[in-house]
Amino acid sequence: MTADPVLIYKLLRKRFGFQDWWPGDTPLEVFVGAILTQQTSWKNVERAIANIKEAGLMRFDRLSGIGLSRMERLVRPSGFYRQKAKRLRDILRCIRRDYGSLEGFMALDALELRERLLEFSGIGNETADSIVLYAAEKPTFVIDSYTKRIMHRVDPSIDEDMAYDALKGYFESRIDRDLTLYQDFHAQFVELGKRFCRKREPVCADCPLRITCSFGSARLHGHGADAATS
């Protein structure tokens, strides 16, 4: 079996419907969430974001101007709070210095914005693409751990350790460059990874990708019992 992103999306969309995904009321909230969600659950990030909102600081001019100790108190629920507070404060101040506002920064074209984000300490490919896709609302395909696991299981020739940009390019060369499609496709993978294609005890029998998945086919036909815990 080979991985066809168009077919995969159609199957996922048919099962799950359109996903209005990535919680966040404003670009700043999405931006902050993308940075804080590293190495923690979204539930913890929500608590940190609630702290910022309750303090009346979910505005770029205000949040970029607070001191480090206050930022640490606000983002403490997100874990690694000292590291994240410094990272968030430094990035916001740099954006304010160089672009004047978050809107000015987000006005960069997608490629330049992504490259600029990757220059910041602590922002990797997935975080940068999430910010470009959901905060700036510009098409760039996000690759996360769900995507890697699902694609490797669908087609074992796609290595789960494939370089980020290689897998990103795999998708972007095979599907239309469309903001809504990119956003929804990523959300579909998250939904599938949580509900069916779990790292342990995957639910293959009712998986929407079972007709095109090598891993699922092997398990359902009695050839992949050991793979359930892979």
Q: pLDDT digit string (tens) for 10-50? A: 999 999 999 987 767 899 999 999 999 988 999 999 999 99
Q: Same domain for 165 and 207?
A: yes
Please say whether the beta carbons of 134 and 24 come within 8 A: yes
Q: Same domain for 81 and 107?
A: yes
Of 135, 153, 169, the position where a domain reaches its end is 135
pTM of the model: 0.92
- Residues near 39 by beta carbon (within 8 Å), at least 6 away in sequence: 79, 80
Nearest to 91 by CA among 77, 109, 75: 75
Structure tokens at 76: 């403490």
Percent of the chain with pLDDT over 90: 89
Confidence of residue 1 (pLDDT cuts 50, 70, 90): low
Structure tokens at 7: 């077919």
- Mean pLDDT for 166-181 is 97
Q: Same domain for 113 and 193?
A: no
Q: Same domain for 127 and 161?
A: no
Of 92, 113, 135, the position where a domain reaches its end is 135
Domain holding 32: CATH number? 1.10.340.30
Q: Same domain for 130 and 31?
A: yes
Of 85, 102, 135, the position where a domain reaches its end is 135
Mean of all residue pLDDT scores within the chain = 93
Condensed to tens digits (0 to 9), the pLDDT of residues 63-78 reads: 999 999 999 999 999 9
Q: Same domain for 32 and 51?
A: yes
Condensed to tens digits (0 to 9), the pLDDT of residues 102-118 reads: 999 999 999 999 999 99
Please say whether the beta carbons of 117 and 123 come within 8 A: yes
Domain count, the chain: 2
Domain hosting 221: range is: 5-19+143-229
Q: Same domain for 125 and 42?
A: yes
To 5 degrees, how large is the angle CA 139–CA 213–CA 12?
45
- Residues near 147 by beta carbon (within 8 Å), at least 6 away in sequence: 167, 186, 189
Amino acid at 26: T
Q: Same domain for 208 and 127?
A: no
